[in-house]
Amino acid sequence: MTLRRALTLLVPALAIAAGAASAHHAFTPVYDAQRTVTVQGVVTEFRFINPHSMMSIDVTDEAGKVVKWTVEFDGVLNLSEGGWTERTIVPGERLTVSGNPTHTNSPRMFFRKFVRADGTEVMRHQDTRGTTIDEQRRERARLRSQQK
Amino acid sequence: MWSDPPATAEDWFCSGWCTDAGLERLNALLDDPANDARPYDALSAEANTFQLERYVRPRLSPETLKTYPLDNASDPGFLRCQPWGLARNVVARHQLEIRRRGDERLEMRYGEWDARRTAYLDNRPRPANQPPTLMGHATARYERDALVIETTGLARDRTSFRTEHSDQLRMTERYTRSPDGKRLFLSVTFEDPVTLREPVVLKKVWSWAPASAIAPYTGCVRPTDFSTGK
């Protein structure tokens, strides 16, 4: 296992949603929406709870030192709507996880995506909503162009 | 049980709170071909900024404007896991359950914070010795097809539009359903002689979700790693 930090400039849907009408659980003071980070490690705990589900994952850095990362997820309702249960992630499982890092670059992130050892990719359910809406918008644009 | 609406541009914008001004702005952005390549979240954020600046800000008192918008990092809900008061919870995302208990009262339960409140149908006054509370004292009545709830006796707390309200806040909620019964609409009016110059009216929508269940709110942890002014 190696620690891989892939800091990427982007404007994720998560950040805008979290900063919108209702600040919800105060994403912005903790996480940097403009960057993503990716780590690979072994899950030691997954808690399917409110207000936000949490995971601990042991990540071995380049020097061979094990760093315990914390990954924060959405709450039970949003995860359930995406088909998640308390068994979606199990201790001992090896995952590659991507998310928004903290402003202080501590070993913590807000979840965006994980990839299992067999290559299965699981996205944040909230992000797939944006995709659905964008598909509706493309249809709206198509109808608009037909009316001209 | 009511829960978050399906992913449509308008309903998702109002799954937290929205205003008529914000919705109008969002639709104008969506109808402009110049925005077709921009992601929905960017348009939604622009419409949100518009409603905060053009609708909410002009309605705030001079005293409130001095601290507007409040820093998310100073939010007691975030810092100390203090449950939100009604002013925020009434338009919070997630579930809402309304149960009638005889002719006397309605019991309401929210997915956010697993918060609960009672709205009295017998128009009973707030007891004189009852101090303000986070959820206040509520009375409810039916006006044709609408459920109307008026709440006073609210302890000073935050609003969803990043201000504080005083203990003189009066909230009037008006709930109506779509003709097919599958969507619930809320229009809530905030009147506060201390923090608002004019009433603020927020809108919200839910979808009927009979299988949805509210999960306990047991895992709030006080943050130790955060930045202010974000």
More confident residue, B217 or B140: B140
The minimum CA-CA distance between A118 and chain B, rounded to whole Å, is 30
> Is the link from the previous residue into A51 a cis peptide, with omega within 30 of 0?
yes
Q: Among A22-36, A123-137, B92-106, B128-142, whose mean pLDDT is lowest?
A: A22-36
Residue B75 included in any domain: yes
Name which of B3, B17, B226 is nearest A29 (Cβ-Cβ). Answer: B226
**Cross-chain residue pair A51–B217, CB shorter than 8 Å:** yes
What is the average pLDDT across A35-43? 97
Residue owning tokens 């003071």: A29
Kindly write down the DSSP assignment for every residue of B122-176, as one continuous string. T-PPPPTTPPPBSS-EEEEEEETTEEEEEEE-BPSEE-TTS-EE-TT-EEEEEEE
Tell me the pLDDT band of A28, cut-offs 50, 70 and 90.
confident
C-alpha to C-alpha distance for A42 and A44, rounded to whole angstroms: 6
Residue B72 has pLDDT above 50, yes or no: yes
Residue A2 has pLDDT above 90, yes or no: no
Residue B218 included in any domain: no
Beta bridge partners of B202: B188
Given CB atoms, is B45 within the 8 Å cutoff of chain A? yes
Residue B129 included in any domain: no
Residue B24 included in any domain: yes
C-alpha to C-alpha distance for B5 and B13, rounded to whole angstroms: 10
Q: Is the ipTM of this complex over 0.90?
A: no
- At B116-125, the pLDDT tens digits run 999 999 999 9
Task: Give A-chain residues touching B30 at CB under 8 angstroms.
Answer: 137, 140
Tally of structural domains, chain B: 1
Domain ranges, residue B78:
2-122+134-210
Name which of B9, B91, B111 is nearest A77 (Cβ-Cβ). Answer: B111
Task: Give B-chain residues touching A145 at CB under 8 angstroms.
Answer: 33
Q: Among A55-64, A129-138, B189-198, whose mean pLDDT is lowest?
A: A129-138
Considering A9-23, B65-79, B194-208, B211-225, the range whose residues carry the highest mean pLDDT is B194-208
Residue A16 has pLDDT above 50, yes or no: no
Residue B91: the pLDDT is 96
| Contact assessment for residue B67 and residue B159, using Cβ atoms and an 8 Å cutoff | no
Tell me the pLDDT band of A9, cut-offs 50, 70 and 90.
very low
Residue A7: the pLDDT is 36
Residue B115 included in any domain: yes
Residue B86 included in any domain: yes
Given CB atoms, is A132 within the 8 Å cutoff of chain B? yes
pTM comes to 0.87
Share of chain B above pLDDT 70, in %: 100
Residue A19: the pLDDT is 33
Tell me the pLDDT band of B106, cut-offs 50, 70 and 90.
very high
Q: Among A57-66, A67-76, A136-145, B105-114, whose mean pLDDT is lowest?
A: A136-145
Tell me the pLDDT band of A51, cut-offs 50, 70 and 90.
very high
Task: Give B-chain residues touching A23 at CB under 8 angstroms.
Answer: 72, 75, 160, 162
Residue A10 has pLDDT above 60, yes or no: no
- At B155-176, the pLDDT tens digits run 999 999 999 999 999 999 999 9
Residue B39: the pLDDT is 87
* Residue B220: C-alpha distances to residues A47, B84, B110 (Å): 12, 13, 16
User: What burial class does residue A22 get, using C-beta atoms within 10 Å of its C-beta: 0-12 exposed, 13-18 middle, 19+ buried?
Assistant: buried
Given CB atoms, is B180 within the 8 Å cutoff of chain A? no
C-alpha to C-alpha distance for A19 and A25, rounded to whole angstroms: 10
**Interface list for B 66-95 with A (CB within 8 A):** 71-73, 75, 77-78, 88, 91-95
Q: Among A138-147, B41-50, B123-132, whose mean pLDDT is lowest?
A: A138-147
**Cross-chain residue pair B72–A76, CB shorter than 8 Å:** no
**Cross-chain residue pair A75–B94, CB shorter than 8 Å:** yes
The minimum CA-CA distance between B103 and chain A, rounded to whole Å, is 32
Q: Among A92-96, A122-126, B92-96, whose mean pLDDT is lowest?
A: A122-126
C-alpha to C-alpha distance for B51 and B69, rounded to whole angstroms: 13
Give the mean pLDDT of chain A.
83
